[in-house]
Structure formats: C-alpha cells, structure tokens
Amino acid sequence: MTPKMNSVGVIGLGSMGYGVATSCIAAGLETYGSDIRPEVCARLIAEGAADASTSPAAFAGRLDAVILLVVSAAQCEEALFGEDGLAPKLRPGVPVVISATIAPADSRRLGARLAGMGLPMLDAPVSGGSIKAGKGQLTVMAAGAPETFDAVAPLLDAMAEKVYRTGTQIGDGAMVKTVHQLLAGVHIAVAAEAMALAARAGIPLELMYDVVTHSAGNSWMFADRMQHVLDGDYTPRSAVDIFVKDLGLVNATGDSLSFPLPLARKAYELFAKASEQGFGKLDDSAVIMNYVGSELPGTRDN
C-alpha cells in the first residue's frame, strides 16, 4: 500500500512554482519551498508554508515528495545533484516530480540518475500559466510508473485540473510538452505578426482583438497574449527568453528525429531576434517588438 503523502517541497518559486506552492498550501499539504530569492521564500512562509529557504537541506528529510519548477535541465541537475543538491538528502523512495520544460533525453537522463539513488521520478511538465497555477488548475502531461502516480496523487490533485498519463516511460511527458510548445510558440509569434499588421494598416487594435477572439482565427494564446499588447503591459508572466529556450528544444528534438519543423524554426528566429534586441526578459508577447514602425500601446516607436 502506498504511504499517504502529507508534505511536499516545491523547488523554484517563479510564477508557476509559487502558484503551485500556494495551491498545495490551500489543499492542506505541509508545504516547503526553495528559491534563490530570500524575499520570495519569506513571502511564501507568510502565506502559510511550513518553511522556505534558499537551500532545502534543512527540511529535505521531512518531505514525502518533491516537485521541481525551475527553468532548465541544468537547473534541475544543480538542484538535485549539485554541491548542495537535494537528492542525496531525501529519504529512499521519495518521488521526484520534474515539471520543468526540458528535452526528453534530459528527462530520461535525470530519471535514470534518480532511480540509481532509489528515488522514483514522474516526468510531469505543466501548462496553464501563473494564474491557473495559483488556482490549482494546471494541465499536467506526465509519464512514470503507476505507483509513482499513486504516491503523488495529493500533489497532482492540489495543482492540476487535468492530468494526462502519457505513458510509463520517462521522457514521454517531456515529448508531449515539446509538441505542445511548438504550437504555443508559433501561436504567439503569428498572433504578434497579425496584430502588428493591423497596427501598420491603421486598424484599431481593440477592434482587431475583438474580431479575432470571436472568430475562427482565435487561439488561447492570441486571446491571452494579445491582451498584454492591448494593455501595453509586458510584465513577464512567461518571458521571451523562455520561448527561445523552449523552441530551441523543439527544433533540437525535430533534428534528432530527422523531422524538419520550418514553422517552429521561424518562430524561434523571431523570439531570438526579440531577445537580441533587449526584450528577452519581457513577457513573451514582446516578440511583437520585431515589427518596427507599428504604433503599439505602451510604446513610442517600435
């Protein structure tokens, strides 16, 4: 019988990780957090966390499960196996949920290393954004052993509205997320291009937005990200540089399968160009800044 999970450590308290942590608190889980920013750790404690620290070493032995919501495979590796890595400090059998967007090959490599330490892994990338994270309404696309799913069921219940079991092989979840990110990145890039064209043509952007969001050309990404453009608000919910990373993974995966991805490659180029121009830390809707000469809310001259 799988022991009941009562406590969870959330590693990485960015916009998604912080929302997952507060959802776990709201669900009654004994929640611990770790982030490189002490002020964020302090804020999580004020919201009801059992503890939060720049290093999880102090509470590692109390955890029934761990979830990583950092940015990259390198950050996952450092958090788990670095100089102050968490993995050696966990009790045997504690499941590790990797929810960072990483390449399938990296997911498999991390899973094998954790398995060698007696730590089962759930390959469980997520989607939905910071608002849904804070409401416990994420979509999870996960792969792993059935008993690992059972062990972390309270965590998944706390953070997710929908959990897809993509398979038992570690890496399958990461592959599903890779395909998803192809669509997400291309949708944002083409939404930005469409709105920039409307701006150049003198069409009021509020009108264009209303038409598209009530017509067949709409997508979730258009409705969400182009609202940021209308507001002239490029506060990062997900940054341009995140899609430089994610679309880089998409294209590398296509290359590994000898499968050309021309649309994903062009979208990557647009995000990379926006980053090179100094917009990398802004909201990913700032990919629209590639289109110079268009009058956009919140900008003087793009």
Q: Can you spell out the DSSP letters for 205-223?
A: HHHHHHHHHTSTT--HHHH
Q: Is residue 177 among the annotated active site residues?
A: yes
Mean pLDDT taken over the chain: 95
The answer to whether residue 156 scores a pLDDT higher than 90 is yes
Strands 96-98 and 66-68, bridge-based pairing? parallel
As given in the structure block, the two tokens for residue 181 are 């990110």
Name which of 118, 176, 126 is nearest 155 in CA terms: 126
Q: Which pLDDT band holds residue 1 (cuts at 50, 70, 90)?
A: very low
Quote the pLDDT of residue 302. Answer: 40
Quote the pLDDT of residue 296. Answer: 83
Alpha-carbon span 175 to 270, nearest angstrom = 23
Mean pLDDT of 149-169: 97
Q: So what CATH class is 7-169?
A: alpha beta
Q: Which amino acid is at 8?
A: V
The answer to whether residue 270 scores a pLDDT higher than 60 is yes
Q: Could you say which of 89, 135, 162, 177 is catalytic?
A: 177
Please say whether the beta carbons of 129 and 188 come within 8 A.
Answer: no
Residue with tokens 């670095």, as numbered in its chain? 82
Quote the pLDDT of residue 295. Answer: 75
Grouping H, G, I as helix, E, B as strand and the rest as coil, residue 144 is: coil
Mean pLDDT of 146-165: 98
Helix, strand, coil share (%) of the chain residues, nearest 5: 55, 15, 35
Could you say which DSSP state residue 172 is in? Answer: H
Strands 96-98 and 121-123, bridge-based pairing? parallel
Mean pLDDT of 110-128: 97
Predicted TM-score of the model (pTM) = 0.92
The answer to whether residue 241 scores a pLDDT higher than 90 is yes
Helix spans in the chain (H): 15-26, 38-46, 73-81, 104-115, 129-134, 146-151, 153-159, 172-200, 205-213, 220-231, 240-256, 262-274
Alpha-carbon span 168 to 60, nearest angstrom = 27
Query: 239 pairs with which residues across the strands?
Result: 283
Quote the pLDDT of residue 237. Answer: 87
What is the share, in percent, of the chain residues with pLDDT greater than 90? Answer: 92
Quote the pLDDT of residue 27. Answer: 97
Residue 122 has φ and ψ, to the nearest 5°, of -110, 120
Which regions of the chain carry the CATH code 3.40.50.720?
Answer: 7-169
Q: Which pLDDT band holds residue 299 (cuts at 50, 70, 90)?
A: low
Write out pLDDT tens, residues 193-234.
999 999 999 999 999 999 999 999 999 999 999 999 999 999
Q: Pick the residue with more confidence: 286 or 4?
A: 286
Quote the pLDDT of residue 301. Answer: 44
Write out pLDDT tens, residues 32-75.
999 999 999 999 999 999 999 999 988 999 999 999 999 999 99
Which regions of the chain carry the CATH code 1.10.1040.10?
Answer: 175-290
Please state which CATH number belongs to domain 175-290.
Answer: 1.10.1040.10
Name which of 10, 248, 46 is nearest 133 in CA terms: 10
